[in-house]
Amino acid sequence: MMPAEGSISTLVAGLWLLNIVLDTGGQLAFKAAAGDEAAGDGLARWKHMASRPWLWLGVASYVIEFLVWIAFLSLIPLSEGVLLGSINIVAIMVAGRFLFGEKLTRLRVTGILLVTLGVAIVGLGT
């Protein structure tokens, strides 16, 4: 059964949401790996990060996300897919705020709202 004209199929929506989860999870895992204060400096830092699961969780998230992204783009025009993918920035910024205490300034919140509005407009037009 084909979706109505101007709507996104369940498969496309599912792939889009999975992409958001994987991209956000990967970024958060990389931040957790890079932000470990016990890591030291230079080569010792890289060795420490490579021995921790966060780095590898991030890599695995990105590998799976790559496959999901290709599947997503096979079902939707590139121009729409890239714009819909922009919501990842919002998810990462909000998650960074809650998990790492990163600041969300008024300017960043304005950016989040504008990106969200843009993704909503693109989503309505597909």
Give the 3-state secondary structure of 20-59. Answer: HHHHHHHHHHHHHHHCCHHHCCHHHHHHHHHCCHHHHHHH
3-state secondary structure of 57: helix
Average per-residue pLDDT for the chain: 89
Average pLDDT over residues 80-84: 88
Q: Could you tell me the pLDDT band of residue 23, with boundaries at 50, 70 and 90?
A: very high
Contact 91, 20 (CB under 8 A): yes
User: pLDDT exceeding 70 applies to what percent of the chain?
Assistant: 93
Task: Determine how many CB atoms are found less than 10 A away from the CB of residue 117.
Answer: 10
Task: Determine how many CB atoms are found less than 10 A away from the CB of residue 98.
Answer: 8
Q: What is the pTM of this model?
A: 0.83
